[in-house]
A and B are shown apart, each in its own frame.
Chain A
Amino acid sequence: MAHRVVVTGYGAVSPLGFNVEDTWQNLISGASGIDIISGFDASTFTVKVAGEIKNFDPLAYMEPRTAKYTDRFAQFAIAAAKQAINHSGLIIDDSNRYEIGILIGSGIGGTHSMEEQVMTLNTRGPSRVSPFIVPMMIADNATGRVSIETGIRGFNLSLVSACSTGTDALGIAYKLIKHGELKAALAGGTDAAITPLGVAGFAQAGALTRNADPETASRPFDSKRDGFVISEGSGVLVLESLDFALERGARILAEIVGYGATSDAFHITQPLSSGESALKAIHMALKEIGFEEIGYINAHGTSTRLNDASETRAIKNSFGARAYDIPVSSIKSMLGHMLGAAGSLEAIICCKVIEQGVIPPTINLEHPDPECDLDYVPNAARKARVDAVISNSFGFGGHNSVLAIRRYS
């Protein structure tokens, strides 16, 4: 028997806030979380801007000793996970701890720690390398730490699918709960890769904008877009089977009603220009509820030339003429690209759209691109009753992942 899967809580840290509410308020007011890079000296870099989370205090969420031996990407996950549990009112105890899972992925993992220790290795030799470097840098440290911090002992997986990670973590958690393998899961993504190697690597691949003006650098679907803005953070949701949620009297925020994932089989960084595999993922996600109800599309919308054009093509080919009537927006215009955390934060924002009846805008959309001709909710939030949405995420390696979320009734 298939179980219905609902959202009962969420938490986040982002360049626009240390929690979901602040992030949401900033998004609907069209604020930008992008600034000049301050975490390291980027003066010799071609890229000058990023969406950094400034003044994040890990000690608000964990003991000093845990914070010291936990990479920034996993600290973000702990913060988001604890917020999500509080928000859902879920109490983890001996009656349920083995039936709750943790699926928090990371696109990059602990690159802050790794880069620092590579410096130590090269300058001071192997006997000076920290014994904590392996647990600090491997991507599963986020789920391992969250398990220790919360007492959750069920299925624990950190999956990696580049910038689709957050959406895939939610999609897999959805399937595990739907098919009765878990009663509940903490699911989402986390990343903190605004480091010299992270920025240089994405910049050399031509993925990042060279626009040095922070607030206008991320401009999805605009004809003057020239790459994404790297940012960081985490978004984690509590998903539960409807039965479990009702049994414990949880407040239900939205329902997950579909997930589709495909791959391009084409190129390690470029998306398939036809958008064909993305279209297939959209169809898979809407297999059960169909296309009619969809009233908002949260775009992957990275602000790269290739993504925004192929994503637009995929949306048009999926929805036909109705594509022009559906608001599509990219919150990456304000947050930058949180990599593996993007999809999960965007799923949270989709829940807020359904709950609040407001659609966050795509800012910096000033010069229309003939290849991108949908309604991208340019520059100002819009009130609209939305009952069902899809959230798209695509990633290096050719990942296409789509989640469908609906108002619970």
Chain B
Amino acid sequence: MDIHAELKKAICKVHPGIDESKITPEATFTGDLEMDSLSMVELALAMEDGFGVTLPDEELAKLTTVGEVEALIQSKMEK
């Protein structure tokens, strides 16, 4: 599974209208992608659907960039 492509899809789902080229591994959620705390919860729900993994709030809260979240998903999927 292409985690980056799937995550991009999830971000576009919770943030329709976003400029997709902004979704790079270095992009920060609250800064570059202009997501607020509610959107982050919505994104967590979309990622759980997309990847079939559980992403607890406390783990996600520590992460700020798209790349970090991709790494977390990768590690969850390997388990």
Contact = CB atoms under 8 A, between A and B. Distances in A.
Given A131-B38, A132-B38, A63 B45 contact: no
Contact of B16 (A68, A130, A131, A135): A68
A128 B17 contact: no
B32 to A, nearest CB: 15
Contacts of A68: 14, 16
Contacts of B18: 65
Contacts, number: 21
A263 to B, nearest CB: 38
B15 A131 contact: no
Contact of A130 (B15, B17, B37, B45): B45
Contact of B17 (A63, A131, A135): A63
Contacts of B15: 65
Interface string B1-34: 0000000000000111110000000000000000
B70 interface: no
A68 B39 CA distance: 11
Contacts of B45: 128, 130
* Most chain B CB within a 10 A radius of its CB, from A63, A64, A67: A64
Interface string A121-145: 0000000101110010000000000
Contacts of A65: 15-18
Interface in A59-79: 63-65, 67-69
Interface residues of A, number: 11
Contacts of A135: 38
Interface string A38-72: 00000000000000000000000001110111000
A131 B44 CA distance: 11
B53 interface: no
Contacts of B14: 68
Interface residues of B, number: 10
A132 B17 contact: no
A51 to B, nearest CB: 28
Contacts of A64: 16-17
Contact of B42 (A63, A67, A132): A132
Nearest to A134: B38
A128 B42 CA distance: 9
A130 B16 CA distance: 16
Nearest to A133: B38
A399 to B, nearest CB: 34
A143 to B, nearest CB: 19
B8 to A, nearest CB: 16
A131 B40 CA distance: 9
Nearest to B54: A127
A248 to B, nearest CB: 34
B14 to A, nearest CB: 8
* Most chain B CB within a 10 A radius of its CB, from A63, A69, A128, A135: A69
A130 B40 CA distance: 11
A69 B38 CA distance: 10
Interface string B53-78: 00000000000000000000000000
Contacts of B37: 131
A68 to B, nearest CB: 5
A65 B16 CA distance: 5
Nearest to A127: B45
A63 B16 CA distance: 9
Nearest to A68: B16
Interface of B: 14-18, 37-38, 41-42, 45
Interface of A: 63-65, 67-69, 128, 130-132, 135
Given A68-B14, A69-B38, A128-B45, 18 more contacts: A63-B17, A64-B16, A64-B17, A65-B15, A65-B16, A65-B17, A65-B18, A67-B16, A68-B16, A130-B42, A130-B45, A131-B37, A131-B38, A131-B41, A131-B42, A132-B38, A132-B42, A135-B38
21 contacts: A63-B17, A64-B16, A64-B17, A65-B15, A65-B16, A65-B17, A65-B18, A67-B16, A68-B14, A68-B16, A69-B38, A128-B45, A130-B42, A130-B45, A131-B37, A131-B38, A131-B41, A131-B42, A132-B38, A132-B42, A135-B38
Q: Which 4 A-B pairs have the closest CB atoms?
A: A64-B17, A64-B16, A131-B41, A131-B38
